[in-house]
Structure formats: C-alpha cells, structure tokens
Amino acid sequence: MSFLVSVEDAVTPGGREMFEWLRDKVEHADDAEGLPEAFTHGNYHAWAAVGSPGNLAIVGWAGSGRGPRLPARAWLLTTAGEGDGEGIDAVARGYREHIQLTGEELERLPGVLAMRPLWLACLDFRQSARNGSTPPMDEGWIGWLARPEHAERLAAQAIASLRA
C-alpha cells in the first residue's frame, strides 16, 4: 500500500481506475495471517540457490525471519511455474518430503500466490506514476493479477502435487 500511497497525487486521470483497482487488491489481499509460522526466506525462488541438485545453498537472506511459511512457498511455486509446470511438481515433491501443509494453507494457497505479484505490480505502478504514465493492464505483474486463472491453475497443480 505504501507504494500506491506515495504516488496517489501523481496518478494521471487515465491511471486512476488502475490505481483504485490495485488499492482494492491490496486492501483485500490474503497476507497469510494466522497460518503456521516458520523461519522463512523473504525472496525464496530458484535464483536464490547456488550449487547443483542435491548440494544447494540458499543465498540472499536479507529480509528473512519468522513468519507464515506459505508466502515463501507460494513465491517459489510462482517462479517454478514459469515453464512447463515440471518445476511446480519438483518443488511440491521436495517440500512434502519434510513438511505437510495444513488444510487451511492449501485452501488459502490461491490467494497467497498473488501476494508477491501484487507487491511487484504496485512497485511497477509506482514507477510508472513517477514517470507520468500508467502501465498497461495486460503486461507484467499487473497483467498476471488481471488474469486470476493463472494463480488458480498454479494453485491447483501445486495442491495436487502436495497431496500426491
């Protein structure tokens, strides 16, 4: 929300509808409050790992700490889904060897999947507003949010893999 508030007065008339749409998304986002907590990596995805399969080290621990475990898992699933979907199955398979998500975590996964893309969409919007423009609705992270079927498909595949 701070990204949006910081440019509220700079939003062009043509960008006002998107601004209000993003504000509504932020106000109604699932922040994973009340879900099981663990030590979690703030930007956990494949690019935060170095090494080779079976001998990986996670790097870039800034912003890490205790919090709901689902957002980090959701971001990893989101980035793992950027291809043929095999990455989602691999992430789920590796995760379920150690942790079983609760029923509530599985139920809230589709909403939590949108958490990081929403943050990135608001960041993109802020930058565009600072430049006097409005980002296109069908591109980048804003486009990702505008198509909720993407998160629903990712969640369905991840849930099926996590339950396997």
Backbone angles phi, psi at 52, to 5 degrees: -130, 160
Q: What is the pLDDT of residues 57-75, one digit of tens each?
A: 888 887 789 999 999 989 8
Judged on CB neighbours under 10 Å (0-12, 13-18, 19+), 140 is middle
**Pairwise pLDDT comparison (85 vs 76), residue with the higher score:** 76
CA-nearest of 92, 72, 80, 69 to 158 is 92
pLDDT number for residue 109: 93
State whether residue 52 is helix, strand or coil. strand
pLDDT number for residue 87: 87
Rounded-to-integer distance, Cα 96 and Cα 63, Å = 25
80 with 87: CB under 8 angstroms? yes
Q: What is the pLDDT of residues 115-155, one digit of tens each?
A: 989 999 999 999 999 999 999 988 889 998 998 888 888 88
CA-nearest of 158, 164, 149, 35 to 91 is 158
Interior angle at CA 83, CA 77 and CA 86, nearest 5: 65
Average pLDDT over the chain reads 90
What distance lies between CA 66 and its chain's CA centroid?
18
Rounded-to-integer distance, Cα 157 and Cα 88, Å = 7
Query: Does residue 51 surpass a pLDDT of 80?
Result: yes
Q: What is the pLDDT of residues 86-112, one digit of tens each?
A: 889 988 888 888 899 999 999 999 999
